[in-house]
Amino acid sequence: MSDLSVKNLTLEYGSGASANPILKGVSMELQRGEVVALLGPSGSGKTTLLRAVAGLESPKTGSIQIGDRVIFDGAKNIEIPAEHRNLGLVFQSYALWPHKTVNENVAYGLKLRKMPAAEIAVKVKEVLNQLGLGHLGERYPHQLSGGQQQRVAIARALVYNPPVILLDEPLSNLDAKLREEARAFLRELIVRLNLSALMVTHDQDEAMAISDRILLLNNGVIEQQGTPQSMYETPHTLFTAEFMGSNNKLHGRVLQRDGDKAVIEVNGRQLNATVRGANMSQDATAIIRVEKVRISQTPSANAIELPLTTCMYLGNRWECLFGHAGEGIRAYAPQRLEAGNYWLQLDADKLWLY
């Protein structure tokens, strides 16, 4: 059985003529022990979906089930209040109580639930130990680093042993380096404790690193879902292809097509490519990941010749731009390249048409 099941959920803000549809029929499942990332651009409805599951927003139609318990059903007028849904919530702003210690922050919800003090002390100690915060129980939030505050927020969500935790951009207040460490920590924690987690992020690298499955939301509908590998390697739409990686985008005219193989013309040059989009038209958009472009100093097959414009040092490699920004091609090189013309090989199976 799924830990969380959402069916055909719709939600709008406002009502009547000024109603603004935000979720337009979203369905998803979260299996026991699974981490699902809810990915999408800003404004696509990620937070709204998470808040609807938590009971902080009222959907219009559809249903939400946790385990075998229906917590929302538009048709049957069922809407269980947030405090009875028993979900762990972690938000971007940790919202810790500034005048309570770490222990008191984590214990607060259990106190509200009238759990006996001795039992609370045991639970708080256990969860703080699990998060590597055991020695910090007496500190106040301002005496902790950002990463530690964030762990306290997670501890507070986990102390109830909720079947599902919901996290809304939990790492985005951390600076880049800390964020990568926290990402590994969070993934390890979720796996170790066998939690089921739904985590919102707008960062595709973070989504791929942390999740077993990604749901990509586009303007209130799920554009595509699948494992991080399938989302990255077999995007069905241009939106997914563009969102999941670092890309070169070319516009071409389709000259020939045979099944998923096609020949396109880009700036007077013919290229073999692979059809990916179900609705490709005569004027197609071709996408190739930056890391898939091969740089050659001699004329090559299925290649575009362009002058080198600039190379940028990235530490472990160089990113080079050929032609003009916006309409040129970017590729990675192991070292800085000499000025001159290059042939950029766009292998047919990696040049995707939509």
By beta-carbon proximity to ligand ADP, the closer residue of 205 and 319 is: 205
Interaction between residue 306 and ligand ADP (CB under 6 A): no
Smallest distance, Å, CB 95 to ligand ADP?
A: 17
Task: Give the binding-site size for ligand ADP (rule: CB under 6 A).
Answer: 10
By beta-carbon proximity to Mg ion, the closer residue of 202 and 257 is: 202
Smallest distance, Å, CB 200 to Mg ion?
A: 6
48 binds, among Mg ion, ligand ADP, none (CB under 5 to 8 A by kind): ligand ADP
By beta-carbon proximity to ligand ADP, the closer residue of 9 and 131 is: 9
132 binds, among ligand ADP, Mg ion, none (CB under 5 to 8 A by kind): none
Question: 3-state SS string over the chain?
Answer: CEEEEEEEEEEEECCHHHCEEEEEEEEEEEECCCEEEEECCCCCCHHHHHHHHHCCCCCCEEEEEECCEEEEECCCCEECCHHHCCCEEECCCCCCCCCCCHHHHHHHHHHHCCCCHHHHHHHHHHHHHHCCCHHHCCCCHHHCCHHHHHHHHHHHHHCCCCCEEEEECCCCCCCHHHHHHHHHHHHHHHHHCCCEEEEEECCHHHHHHHCCEEEEEECCEEEEEECHHHHHHCCCCHHHHHHHCCEEEEEEEEEEEECCEEEEEECCEEEEEEECCCCCCCEEEEEEEHHHCEEECCCCCCEEEEEEEEEEECCCCEEEEECCCCCCEEEEECCCCCCCEEEEECCHHHCEEC
22 binds, among Mg ion, ligand ADP, none (CB under 5 to 8 A by kind): ligand ADP
97 binds, among Mg ion, ligand ADP, none (CB under 5 to 8 A by kind): none
By beta-carbon proximity to ligand ADP, the closer residue of 207 and 353 is: 207
- Give the integer Cα–Cα distance in Å for 307 and 322: 5
Contact of 299 with 305, CB cutoff 8 Å: yes
Starting at the edge strand found earlier in the chain, the sheet holding 69-73 runs 20-31, 2-13, 61-66, 69-73, 78-79
40 binds, among Mg ion, ligand ADP, none (CB under 5 to 8 A by kind): ligand ADP
Name the site residues for Mg ion (rule: CB under 5 A). 47
By beta-carbon proximity to ligand ADP, the closer residue of 95 and 266 is: 95
Smallest distance, Å, CB 43 to Mg ion?
A: 8
For ligand ADP, which residue of 4, 6, 9, 22 counts as binding (CB under 6 A)? 22
Smallest distance, Å, CB 215 to ligand ADP?
A: 12
Contact of 299 with 345, CB cutoff 8 Å: no
By beta-carbon proximity to ligand ADP, the closer residue of 24 and 249 is: 24
44 binds, among ligand ADP, Mg ion, none (CB under 5 to 8 A by kind): ligand ADP
Which positions from 34 to 73 touch ligand ADP by CB under 6 A, shown as an x/- string? ------x-xxxxxxx-------------------------
The residues that bridge with 11 in the sheet, in sequence order, are 23
By beta-carbon proximity to Mg ion, the closer residue of 72 and 91 is: 91
Smallest distance, Å, CB 238 to Mg ion?
A: 23
Smallest distance, Å, CB 42 to ligand ADP?
A: 4
The C-alpha R_g of the chain, in whole angstroms, comes to 24
By beta-carbon proximity to Mg ion, the closer residue of 47 and 150 is: 47
Smallest distance, Å, CB 53 to ligand ADP?
A: 12
Residues that bind ligand ADP (CB under 6 A): 13, 22, 40, 42-48
